[in-house]
A and B are shown apart, each in its own frame.
Chain A
Amino acid sequence: MSGVRVLVGTRKGAFILKSDGLRKSWDVSGPFFGGWEMYHVKGSKVDTDRIYASQSTGWFGQLIQRSDDGGATWNPVGNQFQYEGVPGTHQWYDGTPHPWEFARVWHLEPSLTDPDTVLAGVEDAALFRTTDGGQSWAELAGLRENGTGPFWQPGAGGMCLHTIVVSPNDPNRITVAISAAGVFRTDDGGVTWNPKNEGLVSGEIPDPDAFVGHCVHRIALHPSNPDVLYMQKHWDVMRSTDAGDNWVEVSGNLPSDFGFAIDVHAHEPETIYVVPITSDSEHFPPEGKLRVYRSRTGGDEWEPLTKGLPQSNCYVDVLRDAMAVDSLDSCGVYFGTTGGQVYASADSGDSWEPIVRDLPAVLSVEVQTLA
């Protein structure tokens, strides 16, 4: 029978939530790696038993864990992320040059075709790749060395490469997002990279339409139409129809266009989801109402989805990697909050139920659809 496995990374460990295709009854296991920050846990699409997890603390650094049995058991693999050559400097918060220093892995993106190949986005921003199941990692240094690196500056959460989008039509086309540098794309498998920030306008930087410096929060695409990209920026929800060459704002009637998460319906390429957050300093929903907003038109026109979500006194946040969709016939949508709730909708967002309510603050949510 079909089912889903929801992989949840939190501030104090990882959790796995499993259900059958009805998604009514859930089995919760964990915490795995209790006490560690689990920035991201993500499974391979070609081998659903293969799962990778980013495990770190300020005390003991970075580990990468790998499971080959669907999360039942785990083994640490390689954790050496060494920048190529002499990495030079980027800008510090005060605008002074600051040397590149590895802090942690924010995002793991398994290959769409090979379970042993994974891309890792790290802080300070760079992209690494393993082709041996995580045993060794090599930097795709062309990104950091594309010429704009000395102008990159950390966002409040650090200078992190947090989003990796690989085109399902062309594995050599990879789009990444860095806070606070913006969007970059390679069309040659990671050798050369170019900024892709045309159309982004950010009032928080001296030149609002600068070629780099934008605080992009997340990018998502639908696999059937990979040239259409959707972005939640620091402020503004954006859309590109040319793989990031140009962006236009599609915030429309959202109550706030600040937010972190954005994702696309599994079967409707123009149906997208965001969770509006009040502002860059008020990281909670407007009016204390936790609302997912859905657009069935690729943006601009949005409807609030509230059934089953708290509509008063709710002051949690939903972080950039904390929303995901399954690919069952009736698309499931999932998101986790900094209050420790993981909500699920088995009907494309029309109604919601909490799977769990009291986890540590949720950093990431990913879903595996099981045969």
Chain B
Amino acid sequence: MIRVVLPAHLKALAGVGREVELDVPGAATQRTVIDALEGRYPMLRGTIRDPVTQVRRPFVRFFACEDDLSHESPDSPLPEAVVTGTEPFFVIGAMAGG
């Protein structure tokens, strides 16, 4: 079970609490986790990744285990602690503005 923490606006949009738990079939990667998230909460489609290109939005970041994974390949395996549910996978609205 993968734990995903969403930013406030996306929690409100999806109508969920701080954290959601997802069954992710196959290898856990950024792509498969976001696919599973969008599958469960279709209203989030297009908010984390561009709906056409599937590229991460510039002001969205992916953190886990105190690392910024945003620039990793979307198909790279996520850290083992995320895969086992020990640590959550954070979707973050990047700091922008003054």
A contact residues around B10 at 8 Å (CB)? 60
B50 interface contact, C-beta 8 A: yes
Which residue of chain A lies nearest to B58 when distances are taken between CB atoms in the complex?
A: A58
B46 engages A62 (CB within 8 Å): yes
Q: Choose among A36, A75, A79 the residue that contacts B9 (Cβ–Cβ < 8 A).
A: A36
Q: Choose among B8, B43, B52, B96 the residue that contacts A76 (Cβ–Cβ < 8 A).
A: B43
B9 engages A82 (CB within 8 Å): no
Instruction: Report the interface size class on chain A.
Output: 10 to 19
Q: Which of A36, A61, A63 has the most CB of B within 10 A?
A: A61
Q: Choose among B7, B43, B47 the residue that contacts A61 (Cβ–Cβ < 8 A).
A: B47
Q: Choose among A58, A63, A80 the residue that contacts B96 (Cβ–Cβ < 8 A).
A: A58
A155 interface contact, C-beta 8 A: no
A35 interface contact, C-beta 8 A: yes
Interface string of B45-80 (1 = CB under 8 A from A): 111101110000101100000000000000000000
- Contacts of A21-72 to chain B: CB distance below 8 A: 35-36, 57-63
Task: Give the complex CA separation of A61 and B59 in angstroms.
Answer: 10
- Contacts of A73-109 to chain B: CB distance below 8 A: 75-76, 79-80, 82, 102
B46 engages A59 (CB within 8 Å): no
A contact residues around B46 at 8 Å (CB)? 61-63, 79-80
B contact residues around A62 at 8 Å (CB)? 46
A contact residues around B50 at 8 Å (CB)? 61
B1 interface contact, C-beta 8 A: no
From known contacts A59-B9, A60-B60, A76-B43, infer whether A82 and B52 are also in contact, taking CB-CB under 8 Å: yes
B94 interface contact, C-beta 8 A: yes
Closest chain-A Cβ to B57's Cβ sits at a distance in Å of: 6
Closest chain-A Cβ to B2's Cβ sits at a distance in Å of: 21
Task: Give the complex CA separation of A76 and B42 in angstroms.
Answer: 9
Closest chain-A Cβ to B67's Cβ sits at a distance in Å of: 21
B16 interface contact, C-beta 8 A: no
Task: Give the complex CA separation of A62 and B45 in angstroms.
Answer: 10
B9 engages A61 (CB within 8 Å): no
Interface string of B8-43 (1 = CB under 8 A from A): 111001000000000000000000000000000001
From known contacts A35-B9, A76-B13, infer whether A60 and B48 are also in contact, taking CB-CB under 8 Å: yes
Q: Choose among A35, A36, A59, A63 the residue that contacts B94 (Cβ–Cβ < 8 A).
A: A59
Closest chain-B Cβ to A33's Cβ sits at a distance in Å of: 8
B13 engages A80 (CB within 8 Å): no
Q: Choose among A35, A57, A59, A79 the residue that contacts B51 (Cβ–Cβ < 8 A).
A: A79
B52 engages A59 (CB within 8 Å): no
Which residue of chain A lies nearest to B91 when distances are taken between CB atoms in the complex?
A: A60
B contact residues around A36 at 8 Å (CB)? 9
Closest chain-B Cβ to A367's Cβ sits at a distance in Å of: 27
A contact residues around B8 at 8 Å (CB)? 35
Which residue of chain A lies nearest to B42 when distances are taken between CB atoms in the complex?
A: A76
A60 engages B52 (CB within 8 Å): no
Task: Give the complex CA separation of A181 and B47 in angstroms.
Answer: 29
A60 engages B45 (CB within 8 Å): no
B51 engages A60 (CB within 8 Å): no
A contact residues around B94 at 8 Å (CB)? 59
A contact residues around B7 at 8 Å (CB)? 59
Task: Give the complex CA separation of A57 and B46 in angstroms.
Answer: 12
Which residue of chain A lies nearest to B59 when distances are taken between CB atoms in the complex?
A: A59
A57 engages B52 (CB within 8 Å): no
B contact residues around A59 at 8 Å (CB)? 7, 9, 57, 59-60, 93-94, 96
Task: Give the complex CA separation of A63 and B13 in angstroms.
Answer: 10
Task: Give the complex CA separation of A57 and B43 in angstroms.
Answer: 15
A contact residues around B93 at 8 Å (CB)? 59-60
> Which residues of B are interface residues toward A (Cβ below 8 A)?
7-10, 13, 43, 45-48, 50-52, 57, 59-60, 93-94, 96
> Which residues of A are interface residues toward B (Cβ below 8 A)?
35-36, 57-63, 75-76, 79-80, 82, 102
- By Cβ-Cβ distance, the 7 closest A-B pairs, closest first, are A60-B47, A59-B59, A76-B43, A80-B51, A59-B93, A79-B46, A82-B52
Given contact pairs A60-B47, A60-B48, A61-B50, a sample of 15 additional A-B residue pairs in the complex whose CB atoms are under 8 Å apart = A35-B9, A59-B9, A59-B96, A60-B57, A60-B93, A61-B47, A63-B43, A63-B46, A63-B47, A76-B13, A80-B45, A80-B46, A80-B52, A82-B51, A102-B52
